[in-house]
Amino acid sequence: MSGVEHEYIKDYIVSLIGDHDGILKEIEEYASEKSIPIVQRETARFLELMINIKKPSRILELGTAVGYSAILMSLSSHRKNHVITIERDKNMVKIARENVKKYNLGKYIDVIEGDCLEILRDMSESFDLIFIDAGKAHYNHFLPYCLKLLDKEGIIVADNVLFRGMVASDELVKRRKITIVKRMRKYLNMVSDNDEFMTSVIPMGDGIAVTVRRN
Ligand SMILES: C[S@@+](CC[C@H](N)C(=O)[O-])C[C@H]1O[C@@H](n2cnc3c(N)ncnc32)[C@H](O)[C@@H]1O
């Protein structure tokens, strides 16, 4: 068991999804070769599903890495949305920008270099989908800014919220991960214990939390 999903369930779900081809397959292979973390296959499918249901026109992503999920979100809308994605690692920013250019997505995806917290502080435009996938120890710090930037009908999808199962069970917590676990629990409490928003936590991939405004 990966901590969140039984291996046989994960394998079965992934087998139903099938493989990407073209651009996404190329980036998946590159990321795997270089051990760069990108969204898991079933989480990628979940994002594609959200985009098909919600049809967001403006997407904010925290944590670009090489641009895989930003490109996936752009392609799954047939380039009908605009993705702004934030990354602090210079080398990742360079590779992500090269990927965006290589696949002619420059009109649809902006890669912003910087720390999410600092960039979020200065942002004022609204987004109808926000994907949080950067700095697991800081989701609770990102959240107030994300809620402020979220469109009335918007959705926040946060990845890794169960963090290998540690967030759900003290028995699994590794000592050096205690801060991440405590802060991730704080994030989940903030989005769950809230009169204005409601959240569903899904034990998929490394755990996903989906948050929307209550009707
Ligand atoms: C899991 S990876 C993102 C993967 C990407 N969303 C994908 O699926 O293709 C997380 C990225 O967030 C970046 N990161 C971590 N903390 C950050 C912060 N505070 N501000 C900006 N980027 C951050 C890391 O450098 C890393 O590249």
**How far is the CA of 66 from the CAs of 23, 59, 71, in angstroms?**
12, 17, 9
Q: What is the CATH number of the domain that holds 87?
A: 3.40.50.150
Mean pLDDT, range 66-82, rounded to an integer = 95
Instruction: Please give the order of strands across the beta sheet that includes 82-87.
Output: 109-113, 82-87, 58-62, 127-132, 150-159, 208-213, 197-202
CA of 94 to the centre of ligand 1 (A): 13
For residue 124, being part of any structural domain is answered with: yes
Is there an atom of ligand 1 within 6 Å of 111 CB? no
Query: Sorting pLDDT into bands at 50, 70 and 90, what band is 215?
Result: confident
Distance CA 170, CA 136 (A): 17
Task: Report pLDDT digits (tens) over 132-149.
Answer: 999 999 999 999 999 999
For residue 1, being part of any structural domain is answered with: no
What does pTM read for this prediction?
A: 0.97
Mean pLDDT, range 17-45, rounded to an integer = 95
pLDDT at 2 over 70: no
Q: Which helix (H) or strand (E) holds 181?
A: helix 178-192
Mean pLDDT, range 88-115, rounded to an integer = 97
If one counts the domains in the chain, the total is 1
For residue 2, being part of any structural domain is answered with: no
Range of the domain at 175: 7-213
Task: Report pLDDT digits (tens) over 153-211.
Answer: 999 999 999 999 999 999 999 999 999 999 999 999 999 999 999 999 999 999 999 99
Is there an atom of ligand 1 within 6 Å of 83 CB? no
